Structure 1
């Protein structure tokens, strides 16, 4: 009986070792500590050192992998035992990876200029870009007409500005700087977006920028409100509107863009005012501006 138990224990130990490495008999796995990146569009991660082994999972182009073993199989092919970003492990062929990090490519969302028709229409123009990326070819002018408005007229009494509330609807005139105007915030924009995308719309407002990054990782651009300086503004750039709902703090530097990516400490976005596609600026400054404007962000699934 003791002999049987010892045999079973020995068999389990051998089987476990083989199951863990799954390297062919051609060579034993050797240790390594090196970073690689996937260079194929969609690549299989396998349970062993050959295409005859089952697929464990799949990874996309540019995925960062940490290799901790390598081995030659019976065909003299080099395979690497790697750890994926989620901690999962498996084997990948050497010809499917590279040690050079791929150049970053932001989301290819269409660029639409708000000018000259909509001097204050950055919010609806950025939304138009997002909707176009989602397959809804609606114009900025249609969205300008459809967005909810706050009809509260502009008045200035004893140095105080009485005006509309951008949380309710677009405030003032969108079409000219010759008349008073301001902009619109995420809630009315979300309602407008849902007319075209329904439940696909995701309002990320109030959450951390990590949630914005998650959408970008899924190749979904994100509508945001920041400011035209794209950094935290001094208090001198803010004022107050006295609205039917109460006093609110605003800045005439308010600006909306469509975020298309982030990499290496930078953020990329389509700017409808400067008419720049995938404009690149420092991420920490951009986040500071975005947070100062209330962490307003909308995307879609």
Structure 2
């Protein structure tokens, strides 16, 4: 069963609010995330996101190079320094890291932000900064890139990462892989909201972005909870919220959002979208 329940704003209210924000934002001199610098977790392990990356003796570009690190090298973050470097609109700290038995310094822009295994590969995720509003993915086998791509997702935070791997055999003709990456997007409406971006891979491992949905948060008094209903699933009736039984459809992912008001306990509204698989894309249909 695929019924993750999350709290977020009503779909209609959410998108109207985003539209209002986009109209107002040119007047504003600064967004609250403009000075945000993504940070790595101390004592955590990461993968090198660049190739032939210089491991240096100190936290600046003029420091002596200890050795070069290939793409996909595993490193451990020891400490964050107070040195910041900005390149290509990406601003990050320098870190003291451990590579095997050696220690040295790396700029954070050359280190992945999140990763997870997928079959016999590793997917590396890189936040390209709140200025670019892009997420870059690389699919690695060892140190070899099998596929890669960058996708505009909004001003991305490093505070919350997760992933889900879905069952591709539920769809026909089935894609090679269906996976989703969850992250936090900064927002003017509230501090930020959770977002899940769904991707597919074909047999050649080409990455295709499909659709995103908002497992986000609650902006009281307006809140909502969202379910994804996959083929062969059944979302049962819930009389307390006036929700009817919803059965999954062939080759379709149904997104059902239940919006409610914390101050009006008898108010329940439902908003449904369907994403129909055509062999290469999930095409959205509003209901």
Shorter-chain TM-score bucket reads under 0.3
Bigger-Rg structure (1/2): 1
Higher strand share: 2
TM, length-normalised to structure 2: 0.24
Higher helix share: 1
TM, length-normalised to structure 1: 0.23
